[in-house]
Amino acid sequence: MKTGRVTLVGAGPGNPALMTLKGLRHLRRADVILYDRLAPDALLRQARPDAELIAVGKSPGDPLGRQEEINDVLVDRARRGLRVVRLKGGDPFVFGRGREEMNACAAAGVPCNVVPGISSALAAPASIGVSLTHRGAANAFAVITGRSSRSGGPPDYDWAALARIDAVVILMGHASLADVAAKLIAGGRAPDTPAVSVESATTSRQRHVTGTLANIAACAADAGLSNPIVTVIGEVARMARAEASHAARSRRARNRPLTGRRIAVTRASSSSDELFRLLRRAGAETIACPLIRAVFPPDADDADAALRRLADFDWIAFTSMHGVEGFWRRLQRSGRDARSLAGLRIAAIGPATAAALHRRGLVADATPRTFTGRDLARAILDAPHDRRSDSSARVLCPRGNLARTELESELRRAGAIAEPVEVYRTELIEPPPGAAAELTKGVDAVVFCSPSAVRQYATLRLSGGDAILAALGRTTAAALTEAGLSCGLVPESADVRALVTALGERLRREEALT
Ligand code: SAH
């Protein structure tokens, strides 16, 4: 059996675009991804749809034993011959325990290497215009932690020595900021030294407060800053640019109707997810809480048999992105490519499915105006046809095991031939522990894109408090009602764009009422 390997990949400071190209390449290829709390959602969606995603919710206060568990999982998966990515916030070797994981791999004889990332220690000051080595203001900087694993408080530094370093950058220093500041002052640093704390640097939630060494802890507390925070002490902190004015913020908020909203999405994550992109563009914080995932079985005899007689069909009708992916995998596995689809017409249920086809160089011949199986059948039957009468069209329908059969029954009702083939399976999964915790913390809306996700939500008795339960289409809405949950929103047309717009309008209306 081939041996697997582990790659420690730096995810960068929070903004997904700040990851390295090499890190992204590893992420996209990985069989297994272990990620921690600070890993951005958008990066996890770069994973292959069938990759195993394992959350290792190391948060402040978690028992230390967990590190050994993480090491064990890394080694175990690599020994099964898998490509394992350990995705770590910032840089894996800056207060990331990356070297410990590397040592564990070495001890187990598992190859392990590291892809560096942009550390928040550098990105947070940069994101507010603070240069840690600005000529005349600082010739050196130190990066320290405010929390040692032994005491929970700051480690036993030589505070007098630290007090003499031009710029001091504090990570994991939220809880102990007052303590660290007092120790630096006791070590000889002037209490009026400029200081700045940055929260969630490089993300849409970034904000910062300025003060002095003596009062920065109080200023951060007054502003309600919460983790993750980087604090910079030193003359250089004077360079922190002014926070955007209230007026500028509200102007921005008008264009971004979901600013400050937390939206959980229960669908399987994938790299091309338009829904997540639109939600974030509208200003929302997205919480990926996948309850289903698509798996592509290595064997699919029916689908392979259908592929061998593609000439028997007039159409291929795709009803999901996964259907496209699964069909494509079968095609490739059989040693063929897009040319074997020549002469066939292609229908896509909606824009996301059409986009998945487009990425493979195919343009859909028919897409219905509203995105239901019934309308897809209509679009196929009504499309001008040269070889035979419309109603006898022969349609291959690649689908998942749990997909709805509306398309096929509508086609058959009209006298057409519909042949479903299973190209993927939908598995019900438990959401990553971090996601369940985020739900409990409270969200403004939970979005469902399929009846199976609804049923899993009900089975696991998840709850988003008084969040609006939003369904992408009518069938999903009906599943909510069936499960005894109240569906708070279904857009007119079952597409993600309409859903995001409707959510923005609804939440704004609610805000106006309260
Ligand atoms: N390896 C990481 C640091 C892990 S320790 C790195 O190189 O960035 C976790 C600490 O990193 C947090 O307590 C906080 O101090 C800091 N941090 C990480 N991301 C941050 C962000 N986007 N904004 C502010 N601080 C951040």
Lowest mean pLDDT among 38-47, 52-61, 69-78, 291-300: 52-61
Choice among 31, 41, 58, 495 that is catalytic: 58
Average pLDDT value for the chain: 89
Q: Do residues 138 and 236 make contact, with C-beta atoms less than 8 angstroms apart?
A: yes
Q: Would you identify the CATH topology of the domain 122-239? A: 3.30.950
Which residue's CA is the closest to the ligand 1 atom numbered 5? 95
The Cα 117–Cα 94 span in angstroms is 9
For residue 248, what pLDDT band results from cuts at 50, 70 and 90?
A: low
Catalytic, 22? Answer no
CA of 448 relative to ligand 1 center, distance in Å: 32
Is the confidence at residue 252, as pLDDT, over 70? no
Lowest mean pLDDT among 62-66, 413-417, 419-423: 62-66
The mean pLDDT value for 466-477 works out to 90
Which of 88, 171, 206, 209 has most ligand 1 atoms within 8 Å of its beta carbon, as the pocket-test mutant? 171
Task: Give pLDDT, residue 405.
Answer: 87
Catalytic option among 36, 41, 273, 375: 36
Q: Which structure tokens are listed for 202?
A: 């490089």
The CATH number of the domain covering residues in 5-118: 3.40.1010.10
Q: Predicted confidence band at 58 (pLDDT cuts at 50, 70, 90)?
A: low
pTM, two decimals, is 0.61
Average pLDDT over residues 237-261: 74
Average pLDDT over residues 499-513: 84
CA angle in degrees (0–180, nearest 5) for 111-112-113: 135
Task: Express each pLDDT in 320-370 by its tens digit.
Answer: 889 999 999 999 999 999 999 998 999 999 888 898 999 999 999 988 887
Least confident of 414-423, 452-461, 505-514: 505-514
- The beta-strand segments (E) located in 151-256 are 167-171, 194-199, 207-212, 229-233
pLDDT of residue 41: 77
CA of 246 from ligand 1 middle (Å) equals 27
pLDDT band at 62 (very low <50, low <70, confident <90, very high): very low
Stronger pLDDT, 186 or 402, i.e. the higher one: 186
pLDDT at 264: 94
Q: Is pLDDT above 60 for 22?
A: yes
Backbone angles phi, psi at 70, to 5 degrees: -60, -45
> What's residue 402's pLDDT?
87
Domains 251-291+429-513 and 298-427 share a fold: yes
Atom 24, ligand 1: which residue's CA is nearest? 229
What is residue 150's predicted lDDT score, i.e. its pLDDT? 81
What fold is seen in the domain 298-427?
Rossmann fold (3.40.50)
Alpha-carbon radius of gyration of the chain:
26
Task: Read off the pLDDT of each residue in 484-500 and give the average, rounded to a whole number.
Answer: 90
CA–CA distances in Å: residue 33 to residues 26, 47, 434, 444:
10, 8, 15, 28
Residue 104: pLDDT above 60?
yes
| Pocket residues: Cβ below 6 A from ligand 1 | 13-14, 38, 88-91, 94-96, 119-121, 124, 171-172, 198, 200-203, 227-230
Q: Whose CA is nearest to atom 2 of ligand 1?
A: 90
Q: 244 falls in which pLDDT band (50, 70, 90)?
A: low
Query: Which atom number of ligand 1 is nearest to the Cα of residue 227?
Result: 13
User: Is 36 a residue of the active site?
Assistant: yes
Query: The tokens of 226 are what?
Result: 């919460």
- Domain-by-domain residue ranges, the chain? 5-118, 122-239, 251-291+429-513, 298-427
Looking at domain 251-291+429-513, its CATH architecture is: 3-Layer(aba) Sandwich (3.40)
Cβ atoms of 290 and 267 within 8 Å: the answer is yes
Q: Which of 99, 148, 230 to mutate to test the pocket of ligand 1 (most atoms within 8 A of CB)?
A: 230
